[in-house]
Amino acid sequence: MTPQKRNTAIYLLKMVIAVSLCYLLSLWVSQVDYIWALISAVLVMTPEGKDAVQLSVIRIKGNIIGVLVGVLFLFAALENPVNIIAGATVALFACHRLQLMAGARSTLVALIITLMQTDSTDHWGAAVSRVAAVVAGCAIALFATHLVHNVFKLQYGTEANG
């Protein structure tokens, strides 16, 4: 098997695990929205090489920053897009100060997920559900990455892939 095919197969295995676990968790825990958990999991996992677990951890830290800043900006009760712009500014500053710019994309997505307005009249309940989904997705992604790379001992091939 070529390194590129092996890398694709490993990434696909992680995705199958994450999709399955996000779905099962959403059935068991009503506060966990399947779609938001899955989006968070996909953002955390990486198809890239040898540092998959470390990169996943950086992206999880980024997600946590995004969620925390998002919750803070819910208190500010600013309208979209002002809350997203202000929140992104604070979140990216935090990523920069904490040297987590490799997780900045995940930070911004978690922030946006948290701040998105819904049709629901219970904005806080919806926000708590999205925060739970982001945290669950991150945990599932880390579990899938750890399972594949450390338990199954599957490693990426030597060719670089995107």
139 domain-assigned: yes
- Per-residue pLDDT, averaged over 36-58, amounts to 86
Maximal C-alpha separation, the chain: 54
pLDDT of residue 160: 47
State the helix-helix crossing angle for 104-115 and 82-97, rounded to 10 degrees: 150
157 domain-assigned: no
pLDDT of residue 162: 43
pLDDT of residue 161: 42
54 domain-assigned: yes
159 domain-assigned: no
Domains contained in the chain, number:
1
Confidence of residue 31 (pLDDT cuts 50, 70, 90): confident
Residue range 14-23, pLDDT digits in tens: 999 999 999 9
Task: Match 């708590």 to its residue by tokens.
Answer: 128
**Range list of β-strands (E), the chain:** none
Residue numbers of the domain that contains 14: 3-151
Cα torsion through 142, 148, 154, 159, rounded to 10: -50
Instruction: Quote the mean pLDDT of the chain.
Output: 88
26 domain-assigned: yes
Residue range 85-124, pLDDT digits in tens: 999 999 999 999 999 999 999 999 999 988 886 666 677 7
162 domain-assigned: no
Rounded distance, CA 27 to CA 68, Å? 25
156 domain-assigned: no
141 domain-assigned: yes
Rounded distance, CA 135 to CA 141, Å? 10
